[in-house]
Amino acid sequence: MPRDDDEVSLISDISTLLVSDAFLSEDARKTKKHIRHIFKLGLACTLVIFFPISGCIQETILKSYEEKYNVHISAFLAQSIQSISGAFACLYVPAFLALAKPKPSFIISGCIHLLYTASFALPNAIAIYCISGFLGFAGSLLWTTHGITIIHNSTKKTLSRNYSLFFIVFQISFVISNAYIYVSYGSIDEHVNVTMLVMIGLGLLGVIIFPFISTPRPNAGEIAKPKEMILGSVEILKNVNYWMLMPLTIYLGAEVALHLGVFPTAVSSLNALGGNPHQLVGLMGLLTSVGKIVAGISTIFLNDPSKNAFSGMVAHVLAMFLTFLYIPSEAITKDTWKIAYFEPSLPPLAIAAFLYGFGDVAMFTTGFTLLGLLFRGQTFASAVAIFNFITLASSGILFAVSGNLPISVILGVCVLILLFGMPFLFRIDRNLKEDEQAGVDLLDAE
């Protein structure tokens, strides 16, 4: 049956949260449970990882610390260490997850993220770089566990919808956090101690939520054993569709580094914007999060991987074109008065931030949905881990070279990878639709 015939009303499903179980059918109660846990997952992940993945905020705080104490610590280097460490961690995270089980894995990962956030209260280069190595493992563990948890709380009909719903909840929390940063900082170089205490408190709340999320049960055979995870990775790598998904996977890692680190940091360095451009870090993050929320809503109604990917591609190409026109290369590494092709202006940069966010969710929703449709099962964690390995490695490489390459080169490479991978993505989606029309059951019914 075509996927369009399986569209699920998000509004009616969410409305089940307001109705007592006694008045709901068995299917409605199951839907209510799934949505409730998706909401909790989105909130917990946001609270835990907001600061650790906000490279622009970290870099600005460390610049302020350097000015006061003449001690240089690079947030980009720390994030590069995280990405590379996380990439290698993906090789053993499925086996670790099978041993530790999903809920303890969430808690372990959350505690390491919290430790990293706390290290910025009194920055020390050795401590931050060392914890960054552990954070790479924690990030890989968190996102692998997140992947199997969404699968666990979804059916074939609701898989794409629930990924989108997760991103909406995830980004609403980011909107609130970025709004706090933009409003409370006044100057982002001030109030650092208060801000870090808030970040630590929110991270702790996220860790507390993790035990209350429904995850796959090892005793019920819903997650593979360590040996099966390893063997499953080998089988996944033999799948032609997985290799066709590879260019998109590489691009996703690169664009994360671009829109979370390179772009907002460069904007905050543009003295020509006037006032205190460092304050714009929060505004750029706020607009990016709004773009992600809009994309999350859009992907729910489009309900089609190819359409979602195309909308994400258009958004990112436009965003990178605006970045190319308005941001000079040296803005990545230091405050500057230089001008690129046009004098820096807040409106086009704000539009670019929104488009980066929109494209990010549209592309990630497509990637995770196709991954879930292709490899759902006990060893799905292995597929997620390999996916994360590629994205983290790509992200780490871009973070590592971002301070040494002209921004035009970075943008050009990203566009080429994106355009190269799109035809393969469309082919995978077409293959899946043809299999559905032929009556092939791609997923085990929940």
Question: In this predicted model, what pLDDT tens digit does every residue of 289-346 receive, in sequence order?
Answer: 889 889 888 888 877 888 999 999 999 999 999 999 998 877 777 777 888 888 888 8
How many angstroms separate the CA atoms of 286 and 309, rounded? 23
The residue to which tokens 């990545």 are assigned: 332
CATH superfamily for domain 25-437: MFS general substrate transporter like domains (1.20.1250.20)
How many angstroms separate the CA atoms of 87 and 393, rounded? 5
DSSP 336: B
Instruction: Using alpha carbons, list the distances in angstroms from residue 89 to 86, 107, 418.
Output: 5, 17, 26
Low-confidence ranges of the chain (pLDDT < 70): 1-24, 53-57, 59-60, 64, 76, 173-174, 177-178, 180-192, 218-230, 275-279, 376-379, 438-446
Q: What pLDDT shows up at residue 18?
A: 64
Tens of pLDDT along 155-169? 777 777 788 888 888
Q: What pLDDT shows up at residue 5?
A: 44
Please check whether residue 145 is in contact with residue 137, taking contact to mean a CB–CB distance below 8 angstroms. Answer: no
* Sign of the CA dihedral running 104, 108, 113, 119: positive
Domain regions of the chain by residue span: 25-437
Please check whether residue 219 is in contact with residue 226, taking contact to mean a CB–CB distance below 8 angstroms. Answer: no
Q: What pLDDT shows up at residue 368?
A: 83
Q: What pLDDT shows up at residue 12?
A: 62
φ/ψ of residue 265, rounded to 5:
-65, -40
